[in-house]
Structure 1
Amino acid sequence: MPAGEVHERANLLFGAGAALVGSALGLDWREPLWLGAALGYALGTFWVTPDLDNFPRYPVLAARRWGPLKLVWLPYGLLFRHRGLAHHWVLGPLSRLLYLSPLLLPLRGWLGGLEPALLWGALAGYYASQWLHLALDGIPLRRL
């Protein structure tokens, strides 16, 4: 199982490769869908990763990035065992989004005003970052 830094480097390399291919294909990164995908991918790479299920038992790079708010992830880490449901291909990323949803409630008016393409792109980018993490961990697809 790679360390957090290895996951981040791999995600950065993959993301840079995807950006190069997208640019070569003429994608406009200012379009809401692609901007959302980039933002969601960054969120899933640096702040909301499958390894948050290890916090507080082990130091988790993503938890450190939350600063004092890392305590938000304490119940999540205690609720999920490492490589359990948090490392499921569909339910794992969804569990983290649902876990964060109460924190996003105060922003619902602002989020509701965002273009749907931006939100769909963010969701796709977030899931892509999570799936790359799981692939590097060697989690088999049969756990769908």
Structure 2
Amino acid sequence: MERSLILLKPDCVQRRLIGRIISRFEDKGLNIVGMKLMQVTPDLAKQHYAEHVAKPFYPGLEAFITASPVVALVLEGLEAIRVIRDILGATSGLKAAAGTIRGDFSSSRQMNLVHASDGPEAAAREIGLYFTESELCDCTLSLTPWLRADDE
């Protein structure tokens, strides 16, 4: 089982797409183990995007991510990081395939609705920025046996 941080970004929240996006993840069988509506502060943005702080585009990125609340989620599932990134589609909504979240709802490179961790190390770091251990809920849903075999 793998976990990934998901941020439904300000454009997703403002466009009232939260439910439609979350349903895509649930439909795929991913479990929500943490979720909250929150305001990203400039300090949190700097921690999250630490590798970009010195880049010329960073001020715009920070202004965007702090402009409105986000919904932070931790999703869990088999190969969750890859599966989530496949569901999202290409980073640019202009290049994302139809049927993906970005392909269906985004027509921008920056306004791409959702952030998802890009690997296990990033996921662990990012989850730690947004959630305490006590905010994550481990549970096995009653439908789990109908989503995957016991040996998966």
Please say whether Structure 1 and Structure 2 have the same fold, judged by a TM-score greater than 0.5: no
Higher RCO structure, 1 or 2 (CA under 8 Å, sep 6+): 1
What TM-score, normalized by structure 1, do the two folds share? 0.28
Structure with the larger helix share:
1
Q: Which has the higher strand share?
A: 2
